[in-house]
Structure 1
Amino acid sequence: MATTAEATTRVWRRHAAAALASTVFPAVFVQAMLLANWHVEHPVFVPGDDSPGIAANGGNLIAVPMFAVAAIVCLLFPLLWGIAAFRTGQGKAVKDLPAITTVLQVVALLVALPAAMSLPYNWADVTALVAADLVALSVALRPRWPRRTSPGPA
């Protein structure tokens, strides 16, 4: 049977892994913001349109501040997981913080997936986002998994 200190260390490591994995969310939004900003600074001129290129990049003009705000908001995920890891490492209860953070991450995934699909190498970003959510789900649901109570081989 594992001691309480060993169990606390395992839980602390899981929370720290979730904190590290959740840094993918702000990174994806920063990449999307930089790509949209590049399109704004390098407008595409449409021949015969007489526009300065702004019409073709109107969506990018709106996307830059939205992605910037999303990147700042998504910094909340590593912070919350870090708080959970720190409090668990000190032996204090974190109660519902992992579940709340996981729900927020899953909601953010709905916004982050379209942004990740617009990036170059989108398969890597989408895979990283889904993996970060799976890590968060496994950490949040771990206390609810049934324990094996069988005495083992006789």
Structure 2
Amino acid sequence: DETGAYLIDRDPTYFSPVLNYLRHGKLVINNDIAEEGVLEEAEFYNITELIRLVKERICHRERRPLKDSKKHVYRVLQFHEEELTQMVSTMSDGWKFEQLINIGSQYNYGNDEHAEFLCVVSRECGSSLNSNDIEPTDRAKVLQQKGSRM
């Protein structure tokens, strides 16, 4: 303008950590602010030490496992009505009952006619490929065998 001032139109949310770094010499970024946005600001203003610090923080964040890095494995097991109690009572080793679906009943409850069910179970397992959770336990193998009638 006429006084010689320049208007720099940047995002104040991401400029705040840059300004605090220039004031105090420390990088402080609130949890609700993306480091990548602060990096863009640091690169725009060409603050090399701040660029290095933000890049280090981003690399550290990407290497650290997430708190919720567990994945769920789901299995669907098919069984007859008379096996329901045994199936539910033997389910353990981290398997959790999710849903029971009645897939058919002839309503003729003679000796040969029984309702059939699908049982959905889940289990948390770690995200690493070398995790012991991936190898099925003895009970999990029994559940697999019972569910293999499909």
Q: TM-score, normalised by structure 2?
A: 0.28
Larger RCO, structure (CA 8 Å, separation 6 or more): 1
Would you tell me which structure has more helix in proportion to its own residues?
Answer: 1
Considering only CA atoms, is the larger Rg found in Structure 1 or Structure 2? 2
Would you tell me which structure has more strand in proportion to its own residues?
Answer: 2
Q: TM-score, normalised by structure 1?
A: 0.28
